[in-house]
Amino acid sequence: MYSFTDDLRVPIVGAPMAGGTSTPALTAAVSEAGGFGFHGGAYVSPETLRADVRSIRELTDQPFGVNLFVPEQVDVDDLEFAAYRERLTPLAERAGVDLPESVPFTDDAFDAKIDVLIAERVPVVSFTFGLPDRNTIDRLHDAEIAVSSTVTSIDEARTATERGVDSLCAQGFSAGGHRAMFRIHDADPQMDTLDLVRAVVPLGLPVVGAGGVATPLDVEAILEAGAVAAQVGTLLLRTPEAGTRQAHKDALADPRFTQTVTTRAYSGRLARGLENDFIRTNDGHAPLAYPQVNTLTGGIRKASESDADVINLWAGSGFREARAVSVAEVISGLTPQAPNRFGQ
Ligand SMILES: Cc1cc2nc3c(=O)[nH]c(=O)nc-3n(C[C@H](O)[C@H](O)[C@H](O)COP(=O)(O)O)c2cc1C
């Protein structure tokens, strides 16, 4: 089976960042710089995903991966959902948005996207929010596609290993964006990235450590803990290649934003971002309903995309180190031992 970890020229993995941040240019730039770029495949149609994969291939002949969210349909408490809708109504009115009365569950075209990734022979497919069934893993393996699973605990890592995945992404508590717990009702294990890496390495699969990477010393520590690479998301957010909204890019450098927190307020699932007014007002009120809450807040976020106190500002604890420089510069800054442009 193909192992992307054997292909790394520098021990850096570019995080998949669905929702507009992952662009073909970002994913390709990470792989071109000697790391391994993962592309966020959630929230887009199968057709867009296919077009993105082809665009990445036009930009690089290096291998890359695509990440999908595993769907989980849970019962939604209608009263809690209605109460949250009510709570958001004044904000929606200010933004000129009608909030939907109810939002149906969607699996984000999961099976159709798997078909696209198999047809396109994408080298690696990674999964977040759970594991695909055995049949899906077998189909990917039959197409010589390697499978990776994002885990937040030792139990999840063990389950993923038993299910037959080829590598693990160990996501520590400091990571930006959604927490990867397998089930929405699971409590956050809140494991530190290094502790989690150390705990899952003995399972025997290649491990990538993710969460809070801000400096070359962080990369070194993750490698010393036994990982084959460090995954970075937040550090890439301000690069010109990323599709991050301008207000989000600006907020990352704005001293007004002082800390990151985890919240369910935007999507119903826990995610880490810069603390802003939206989180201060709504944290603790969203029902455990994903992707329904994500869709509910989506209209407001779209209409307010230049307002950093409304939109989700996903970020990990290392956000202060995110610089507005190219992806190649971010990666060479993390791996000073990498050869320079003269190959030395
Ligand atoms: C804006 C943003 C979007 C993200 N989207 C995804 C995603 O689509 N799939 C995924 O597996 N992880 C996603 N993540 C989490 C990353 O894969 C990774 O765990 C995290 O960025 C690592 O921590 P760091 O942000 O401190 O570098 C996202 C993170 C950010 C910051």
Helix axes 193-200, 216-224, angle to 10 degrees: 30
Which atom of ligand 1 is the closest one to the Cα of 128? 11
What are the chain's domains?
4-71+107-234+325-334 (3.20.20.70)
Q: What is the pLDDT of residues 280-319, one digit of tens each?
A: 999 999 999 999 999 999 999 999 999 999 999 999 999 9
Region 26-34: what's the mean pLDDT?
98
Q: What is the pLDDT of residues 61-94, one digit of tens each?
A: 999 999 999 999 999 999 999 999 999 999 999 9
Q: 172: which 2 tokens?
A: 């520590």
Region 193-204: what's the mean pLDDT?
98
158 has pLDDT over 50: yes
Higher per-residue confidence, 340 vs 76: 76
Which atom of ligand 1 is the closest one to the Cα of 236? 27
343 has pLDDT over 80: no
Mutate to test the pocket of ligand 1, among 249, 314, 321 (most ligand atoms within 8 A of CB): 314
Q: What is the pLDDT of residues 216-257, one digit of tens each?
A: 999 999 999 999 999 999 999 999 999 999 999 999 999 999
Cα 224–228–187 angle (5° rounding)?
Answer: 85
pLDDT at 20: 96
Percentage of the chain surpassing pLDDT 90? 95
* Mean pLDDT score of the chain: 96
Q: Is the CB of 211 under 6 A from ligand 1?
A: yes
Q: 241: which 2 tokens?
A: 């290649």
Region 152-171: what's the mean pLDDT?
98
φ, ψ (nearest 5 deg) of residue 296: -55, -45
Region 111-139: what's the mean pLDDT?
98
Using DSSP, state whether 37 is helix, strand or coil: strand
Sequence length of the chain is 344
Peptide linkage before 132 cis (omega within 30 of 0):
no
- Helix ranges (DSSP H) in 176-276: 193-200, 216-224, 246-252
- Helix (H) or strand (E) segment spanning residue 277: helix 277-282
The set of residues, in sequence order, having a beta carbon less than 8 Å from that of 337 and lying 6+ positions away, is: none
Ligand 1 center–CA 156 separation, angstroms: 18
338 has pLDDT over 50: no
pLDDT at 336: 67
Percentage of the chain surpassing pLDDT 70? 97
Ligand 1 center–CA 342 separation, angstroms: 32
Give the residues across from 314 on adjacent strands. Answer: 273
Q: Is the CB of 210 under 6 A from ligand 1?
A: yes
Q: Whose CA is nearest to atom 14 of ligand 1?
A: 177
